Amino acid sequence: MSTNAAAPSNFIRAIIDEDLASGKRSGVVTRFPPEPNGYLHIGHAKSICLNFGLARDYGGRCHLRFDDTNPEKEELEYIRSIKEDVRWLGFDWGEHEYYASDYFEQLYEFAVELIKQGKAYVCHLTNEEMREYRGTLTEPGKDSPYRDRSVEENLELFEKMRRGEFGEGECVLRAKIDMASPNVVMRDPVLYRIKKMEHHRTGDKWVIYPMYDFTHCLSDAIENITHSICTLEFENNRPLYEWILEQVYPEPHPQQIEFARLNLSYTVMSKRKLLDLINRGVIDAWDDPRLPTISGLRRRGYTPAAIRDFCDRIGVAKTNSMVDMALLEHCLREDLNQNAERRLAVLRPLKVVIENYPEGEVEYLEAQNNPQDPDAGTRLVPFSREIYIEREDFMEDPPKKFFRLAPGREVRLRFAYFITCTDVIKDAEGNIVEIRATYDPETKGGSAPDGRKVKGTLHWVSAEHSVPAEVRLYDHLFTVEDPNEGDIMDNVNPNSLEILTDARVEVNLADVEVGEKFQFERQGYFCVDPDSTPERLVFNRTVSLRDTWSKVKGN
Ligand code: ATP
Ligand code: MG
């Protein structure tokens, strides 16, 4: 086994290195174990990159295991989306696709084994009673009156539970560990509960379902997982994980290792909260481009490479912290700056008529596709007498520092000519509706033979030769860094989406495909939305050009 020198070292790799060096392990098998009760988000991406990354770097393998023990919430649509998202991120589980529900029979046998050892019992306390008996963090719990039943009686009762002879909530199977343990998790935890509910994979075969803590460690063991990596909140569950395996499973046991979950500013990640936002109509669906879901990020225009880069940079730690959303955006800009071709698009058009340019004439000007990538070549952009520029690039009465177009002012049109504003046309209400200008034919390509300079360079499109488009601009979904502080609904940003319906984009964008990404010069990076139709293109602004992370943090 060799480690990948390029991979950043961390405490998990240190543990694995030691296990391999000492001979405790001869290889690495990890797993990514989503519960199919929602779509994956950027936090899951961290776990995916970590688990699949370790398997890749140590020449091992990573399983995709659906932790589908709760029949209430699981849906096939979630399973489909999870597989799509993991693949899209660039990872492959090969033939190692598993479902905890496939182990129900084996898990049942392990429970029977625990009962036979006198280490599990059927308990009839109500939920409320059980809570009272459990004690608190500072006081020990009390033994259940059902705790000392005989093995025979427990076997019989557990069998009856399986046969459906008890109603929901009438009884549970509990581990018999220690009601006085300082760790509340170890106070005779529930292993099985009754749920008379169909399961999406096992149908009506089962009316009892194993709890997460019982299922997870045994599923890991059954699959020969070597290192079971989970988030910090499971630290207190580790003794139970180990206890269960010690009772019923031969060594070597998988080792649970906890790391800090990812929290990202200005957003929420819990699937429950995301679903709540959908149900309340704040957003439409799991793939809303404002969400931190993988499908939302994909629709927004994020690339798998940018997300993987982000996960590498944040690394793994032992303490929870909040990561700045600006870092995620920074990783994306770095990728798109290298790889996205440039195009001209006017988001809020203002017409300019170039009066000395011949009517009906059109010329095709050469434009560079990507200054970062010499291989990207050039394209031809049509120029004509009537063009659109950005409304905000013109001011009738500009302040001193405004270097764009204004009456009498000369500017450069990107890849084209210098133009000078000669007149401003207004409607009856005094709104500016059109600009009149002249161009200097000597400045083709953007420089003047007499060496005179202009301060502003504007993007533009030919009026006749451009294509209409809808453009969706996004802002953070929440107005505060941590939306969980206070009522989350009070923190929703009412201006997180702005839709521009009369944008005009250069004709070379006419036949783009959904998911294609471009830099619209001076406006940011944009991605073709699935809502696009042959009649109407829809673009999402992925991210603006201004990189707040490198500027503010001095990175
Ligand atoms: P959520 O709380 O968002 O609903 P979850 O933890 O319930 O997430 P699971 O489907 O159980 O979601 O998670 C699958 C795996 O992803 C687990 O191993 C979990 O530790 C990991 N994971 C979930 N959220 C994060 C996060 N924010 N950062 C890192 N790993 C995460
Ligand atoms: Mg969970």
Q: Which amino acid is at 365?
A: L
- What is the per-residue pLDDT across 197-207, written as a single tens digit (0 to 9) for each? 999 999 999 99
| Last-in-domain residue among 259, 282, 297 | 259
**Ligand 1: residue whose CA is nearest its atom 9:** 34
What's residue 551's pLDDT?
56
What's residue 549's pLDDT?
76
- DSSP tally for the chain: helices H, then strands E: 13, 27
Q: Which residues contact 402 (CB under 8 A, 6 or more apart)?
A: 395
pLDDT exceeds 60 at position 5? no
Residue 398, domain member (yes or no): yes
Give the number of whichever ligand sits closest to the CA of residue 225.
1
The alpha carbon of 32 and the centre of ligand 2 are apart by a number of angstroms equal to: 12
Q: Which two structure tokens, joined as six digits, stand for 151? A: 């093995």
- What is the per-residue pLDDT across 276-289, written as a single tens digit (0 to 9) for each? 999 999 999 999 99
The pLDDT-based confidence of 555 (bands split at 50, 70, 90) is very low
What's residue 75's pLDDT?
84
SS3 annotation, 265-277 = CCCCCCHHHHHHH
Residue 411, domain member (yes or no): yes
CA distance 519 to 336: 8
The preferred substitution site among 47, 270, 274, 310 for testing ligand 1, maximizing ligand atoms within 8 Å of CB, is: 47
Looking at the structure of the chain, the number of domains it has is 2
The alpha carbon of 272 and the centre of ligand 2 are apart by a number of angstroms equal to: 10
What's residue 546's pLDDT?
87
* CA 13 to each of CA 89, 229, 230, 239, 257: distance values in angstroms, whole numbers, following the listed order: 22, 11, 14, 22, 11
Residues 199 and 97 in one domain: yes
CA distance 466 to 472: 18
Q: Which residues contact 148 (CB under 8 A, 6 or more apart)?
A: 121
Instruction: Of 219, 133, 129, 125, give the one whose Cα is nearest residue 173.
Output: 125
- Mean pLDDT of all residues in 123-143: 97
pLDDT exceeds 60 at position 189? yes
CA distance 419 to 397: 18
User: What CATH number corresponds to the domain at position 178?
Assistant: 3.40.50.620
**Ligand 1: residue whose CA is nearest its atom 29:** 261
Residue 461, domain member (yes or no): yes
Residues 152 and 34 in one domain: yes
**Ligand 1: residue whose CA is nearest its atom 3:** 270
- What is the per-residue pLDDT across 441-479, written as a single tens digit (0 to 9) for each? 999 999 999 999 999 999 999 999 999 999 999 999 999
- Mean pLDDT of all residues in 371-384: 96
Residues near ligand 1 (Cβ within 6 A): 33-35, 43-44, 46-47, 230-231, 261-262, 269-271
Give the number of whichever ligand sits closest to the CA of residue 270.
1
Q: Which residues contact 136 (CB under 8 A, 6 or more apart)?
A: 184
- What is the per-residue pLDDT across 237-250, written as a single tens digit (0 to 9) for each? 999 999 999 999 99
Residues 238 and 130 in one domain: yes
Residues 94 and 195 in one domain: yes
CA distance 121 to 113: 11
CA distance 203 to 220: 24
Atom of ligand 1 nearest to the CA of 271: 4
Residues 140 and 232 in one domain: yes
pLDDT exceeds 60 at position 72? yes
Atom of ligand 1 nearest to the CA of 40: 10
Q: List the domain range (segments joined by +) for residue 49.
A: 11-259
Q: Say whether 439 sits in a helix, a strand or coil.
A: strand
Residues 252 and 365 in one domain: no
Radius of gyration of the chain (CA): 31
| Last-in-domain residue among 415, 434, 466 | 466
Residues 242 and 349 in one domain: no
What's residue 550's pLDDT?
67
Residues 73 and 168 in one domain: yes
Give percent of the chain above pLDDT 70: 97
Residue 204, domain member (yes or no): yes
User: What CATH number corresponds to the domain at position 394?
Assistant: 2.40.240.10
pLDDT exceeds 80 at position 125? yes
Cβ contact 187:174 at 8 Å: no
Residues 381 and 252 in one domain: no
The preferred substitution site among 66, 73, 83, 231 for testing ligand 1, maximizing ligand atoms within 8 Å of CB, is: 231
* CA 430 to each of CA 387, 393, 425: distance values in angstroms, whole numbers, following the listed order: 21, 18, 9
Q: Say whether 378 sits in a helix, a strand or coil.
A: strand
Instruction: Of 520, 500, 472, give the one whose Cα is nearest residue 299.
Output: 472
Sheet containing strand 345-346, strands side by side: 341-343, 517-520, 524-528, 537-543, 466-474, 497-506, 345-346
Residue 506, domain member (yes or no): no
SS3 annotation, 78-99 = HHHHHHHHHHHCCCCCCCCEEE
Q: Which residues does the annotation mark as catalytic?
A: 35, 261, 271
What's residue 1's pLDDT?
38
The alpha carbon of 35 and the centre of ligand 2 are apart by a number of angstroms equal to: 6
The preferred substitution site among 44, 52, 99 for testing ligand 1, maximizing ligand atoms within 8 Å of CB, is: 44
Atom of ligand 1 nearest to the CA of 47: 30
Q: Which amino acid is at 277?
A: L
The alpha carbon of 399 and the centre of ligand 1 are apart by a number of angstroms equal to: 51
Residue 211, domain member (yes or no): yes
- Mean pLDDT of all residues in 91-118: 98
Residue 304, domain member (yes or no): no
The alpha carbon of 271 and the centre of ligand 2 are apart by a number of angstroms equal to: 9
CA distance 251 to 223: 13
What's residue 2's pLDDT?
42
Atom of ligand 1 nearest to the CA of 269: 3
CA distance 197 to 285: 27
What's residue 548's pLDDT?
76
pLDDT exceeds 50 at position 4? no
| Last-in-domain residue among 466, 487, 516 | 466
- Residues less than 5 Å from ion ligand 2, measured at CB: 35
Q: How many CB atoms sit inside 10 A of residue 59's CB?
A: 12
Give the number of whichever ligand sits closest to the CA of residue 67.
1
pTM: 0.94
Q: What are phi and psi of 172, to 5 degrees?
A: -140, 165
How many Cα atoms occupy the beta-carbon half-sphere of 415 within 13 Å?
Answer: 21
Q: Which two structure tokens, joined as six digits, stand for 339? A: 């790889």
The alpha carbon of 44 and the centre of ligand 1 are apart by a number of angstroms equal to: 5
pLDDT exceeds 60 at position 326? yes
Q: What are phi and psi of 308, to 5 degrees?
A: -65, -40
- Mean pLDDT of all residues in 313-326: 92
Give percent of the chain above pLDDT 90: 94
The alpha carbon of 41 and the centre of ligand 1 are apart by a number of angstroms equal to: 9
The more confidently predicted of residues 474 and 554 is: 474
Cβ contact 384:361 at 8 Å: yes
Residues 214 and 348 in one domain: no
CA distance 454 to 328: 36
**Ligand 1: residue whose CA is nearest its atom 25:** 43
Residue 545, domain member (yes or no): no
**Ligand 1: residue whose CA is nearest its atom 2:** 270
Q: Say whether 231 sits in a helix, a strand or coil.
A: strand
Give the number of whichever ligand sits closest to the CA of residue 271.
1
Instruction: Of 465, 471, 438, 441, give the one whose Cα is nearest residue 380.
Output: 465
- What is the per-residue pLDDT across 476-534, written as a single tens digit (0 to 9) for each? 999 999 999 889 999 999 999 999 999 999 999 999 999 999 999 999 999 999 999 98
Residues 107 and 209 in one domain: yes
First to last CA, the chain: 35
Q: What are phi and psi of 173, to 5 degrees?
A: -100, 130
CA distance 32 to 475: 31
